[in-house]
Amino acid sequence: MEPLTVQWPTEVREAVAVQQVLRRRIRLEDDPGPLATVAGVDTAFPKRGGEPVARCAVVVLSFPDLRLLGEAAAEVPVMFPYVPGLLAFREGPAIVAALAQLPEPPDLLMFDGHGYAHPRRIGIASHLGVLLDRPAIGCAKSILTGHADEPGPEPGDRAPLLARDGELLGYALRTRARTRPVYVSPGHRVSFATAADLVMACVRGRRLPEPTRLADHLSKGSVLR
């Protein structure tokens, strides 16, 4: 394939066209490379007056023991309006800026958001996974598209998240007993089953996996160390 050119259009029609190009590059099979580090990625929009900004936080953990190895954050002016299904264009520049601060790329990116479970099958985990050519997973707190039955009550229980035509989009995953599930979908270079397995491997007794839970705290200004 031809090398990708990073594009952050500011018009909805152009953004959808970019999604269609990137979608053709998504790979939903497991990458055979090493998995020693996983990075949680989350973006907040602090209110500071003046022009809106996106603050992306990246937290790098060792895998599978989940020791904190590093962190980075970047603030970038927001140039794209809030449009459901196009959040990658609102958050993407800050994400790329934050990841660029790391000394080396993580083996896996885990996003607070969706991957394949998206109306055009290219949520933020797929978009950035393809753009950066890194294995990526989306782990969201709510459904963007599709439907899923309630998974079983035990941690690790899962139910398929399906489109209207029955296409598999991801899984509703129970990460903690008596707690609402999360919705896991592969972004790029990860299979459906492995995406759910890896999210579960990053859970430490809470609803959210540690990478995105810590990234959420950092994006809001909390100190991790």
Average pLDDT over residues 206-222: 92
Q: Which residues of 19-54 are buried (b: 16+ CB within 10 A; e: fewer)?
A: beebbeebbbebbeeebebbbbbbbbbeeeeeeebb
Check whether 9 has a pLDDT greater than 80: yes
Query: What is the domain partition of the chain in residue ranges?
Result: 12-23+38-219
Structure-block tokens of residue 7: 């594009």
pLDDT tens for residues 72-110? 999 999 999 999 999 999 999 999 999 999 999 999 999
Helix orientation angle between 124-132 and 12-23, rounded to the nearest 10 degrees: 60
What pLDDT is recorded for position 225? Answer: 54
Check whether 160 has a pLDDT greater than 50: yes
Average pLDDT over residues 7-29: 95
What pLDDT is recorded for position 98? Answer: 96
Check whether 57 has a pLDDT greater than 60: yes
Q: Does domain 12-23+38-219 sit in CATH 3.30.499.10? A: no
- pTM for this model (two decimals): 0.94
At residue 6 the predicted structure's pLDDT band, cuts being 50, 70 and 90, is confident
Average pLDDT over residues 187-206: 98
What is the rounded CA–CA span in Å between residue 138 and residue 112?
6
At residue 1 the predicted structure's pLDDT band, cuts being 50, 70 and 90, is very low
Judge contact between 189 and 165, C-beta under 8 A: no
Check whether 3 has a pLDDT greater than 90: no
Average pLDDT over residues 193-201: 98
